Every structure is written in structure tokens, then in C-alpha cells.
Amino acid sequence: MRILFIGDIVGEPGRRVVGKLVPRLREELGADVVIANGENAAGGSGITVKTAAEIFAAGVDLMTTGDHLWDQKEVTTLLQSEPRFLRPINYPPGTAGQGSTVLQLSNQAPLAVVNVQGRTFMENLENPFRALQAELPRLRAITPLIFIDIHAEATSEKIALARMVDGQASAVVGTHTHVQTADEQIFPGGTAYLTDAGFTGPHESVLGREIQPVIRRFLTNAPQRFEVASGRVLLQGALVEVDSNTGRALSIRRISEAAPAS
């Protein structure tokens, strides 16, 4: 099985490049499933019903999220009614939505996907390590193919979590920092790992936002409006190939594709 994972989609430029590139990449890379982190898809902060529909229409099979989950009030509708939409699994019991799901793919074994959020330098949710320890045995009783998006700030937290689940998950790929790392590898137990998939959107920017307002904020500490930038749009992520029988990763490579000329 080949899994194409797309790093944080930022605003309209990110949605646009997903729409243009995902159909082609799916065919060229032989991807059986496409997963994307969509928490910044609506104006660079949060996600709406309309922006989610646009991303699904482009060929994304499932969306994960993170700490900007609640930035758009419409997200409650997605959490309550969209089975292809995940929020971090380590929210307290009773929170709307789901933190994991099992995708039934045609001519493929089922693929379980888990979304989990770190706590270091972030909102203090339930313990992500404990949440995965509780969830993975349930999922492994269904399928050996398990993909985890860990949305976290601290590299150490991402690596520690991935090392803990080595051999229990097919892949652990990080999101949130918007900076693609160069540490793709397969751990001894067969789990593919990448600290951060990068982001999908305008890279002539500061993490997807216009440059000068961010600089002014650092210079003056005065509030600024951080609009989504527009230049040099890239789709970033990772392609993971997994043995469908064992769930062990066979390969992982980074993806960074420029938007085609309009």
C-alpha cells in the first residue's frame, strides 16, 4: 500500500495547489490513499464545511487536524457529520468528533488512521502517549496498517512518541511546525517516521503568512494582521509504502512539488 500524506494546507493557495496536483500525484506515485492535514485550510486558520468539501473533491480521502481545530465555528458540523474528518484523539471524553478511523479501501487491506496532538508548548490536552497506548491495540485487532499524524511543536515529543509505537504502527508523520524536516527513516520495528511533513501553501512567506507583518510584530511587539501570503506555492508531504500483510513500512520519502504555472 502507498500512502500519500499532505502537510498542513494553508489558506486558498494551499487548497488550490491540492486541487491541481493531487490527481496527478495520485496517479504518478501510485498512491492508494491520500491523507491531508487541513487545520489551516480556511483563511490560514481553521477549516469550514466549504473548504473541507473543496479538499475532498480534489481527491483527499481523509483529513486530520490539530491545535487550530476550533478556529472556525463551522467545524462542529464537520466533527458531528463527516466521517472522513479527524480531530486529535487525546481530547477529553465527550468532545465531538473522532480521533481515529478505519478506511475500507477497494482492493486493499483496511487502513487505520490516528490523529494525536502533543502537549509541549501547546494546549494541555490528555496525555498523547497514554491515548495511543489505549487505542493501538484496538486498531491492531482490525488491521496491521496504521498511520499516525502527530501534530506537535517539540521534536523530542514527536520522536519519543514514534519510538514508543515502533512496530505497532506503519508510519508516524509529524505536522504543525510548517517546516519540512530531512530525517525520514524506518525504525527497527518497521515504523516509518518523519518529524514534520512541511506545509502546503505559499512558501515565500513566514510559515505561510505575509512576511512584513510578522517582522513588524517581532520588531514592535504590537498586534498585526497576519494575512496568508501568495508566492511560491508548494505541496509538501511524504509518500510511505507499507507491506499490506505485515503493516511494516518498506520506504518513506519526502514530497515537495511546486504548483504548476497557471
Three-class DSSP category at 129: helix
Cα–Cα distance for residue pair 31/142, rounded to 1 Å: 22
How much is the pLDDT for 262?
Answer: 64
Cα–Cα distance for residue pair 78/207, rounded to 1 Å: 26
Interval 71-75 mean pLDDT: 95
Q: Taking a C-beta distance cutoff of 8 angstroms, is the pair 196, 7 a contact?
A: yes
Side-by-side strand order, sheet with 171-175? 100-103, 111-117, 146-151, 171-175, 192-194, 185-186
Interval 140-166 mean pLDDT: 98
Q: Taking a C-beta distance cutoff of 8 angstroms, is the pair 161, 150 a contact?
A: yes
Percent of the chain with pLDDT over 90: 95
How much is the pLDDT for 107?
Answer: 82
- Rounded to 5°, the CA angle 100-162-158 comes to 90
pLDDT in tens, 95-131: 999 999 999 988 889 999 999 999 999 989 999 999 9
The DSSP symbol for 175 reads E
How much is the pLDDT for 106?
Answer: 83
How much is the pLDDT for 260?
Answer: 86
pLDDT in tens, 143-155: 999 999 999 999 9
For 101, the grid coordinates are 478511523
Residue-wise DSSP of 13-26: HHHHHHHHHHHHHH
Here the CATH number for the domain that contains residue 126 is 3.60.21.10
Domain enclosing residue 135, as ranges: 2-258
Active site residues: 68
User: What is the total count of domains within the chain?
Assistant: 1
For 56, the grid coordinates are 475532498
Pairing of strands 192-194, 111-117: unpaired
Q: Checking phi first, is residue 259 left (phi over 0); if not, alpha (psi -120 to 50) or beta?
A: beta
pLDDT in tens, 50-59: 999 999 999 9
Interval 184-203 mean pLDDT: 98
Percent of the chain with pLDDT over 70: 100
pLDDT in tens, 3-38: 999 999 999 999 999 999 999 999 999 999 999 999
Cell 487548497 belongs to residue: 15
Interval 237-251 mean pLDDT: 97
The DSSP symbol for 189 reads T
**What are the φ and ψ backbone dihedral angles of 74, each rounded to 5 degrees?**
-65, -15
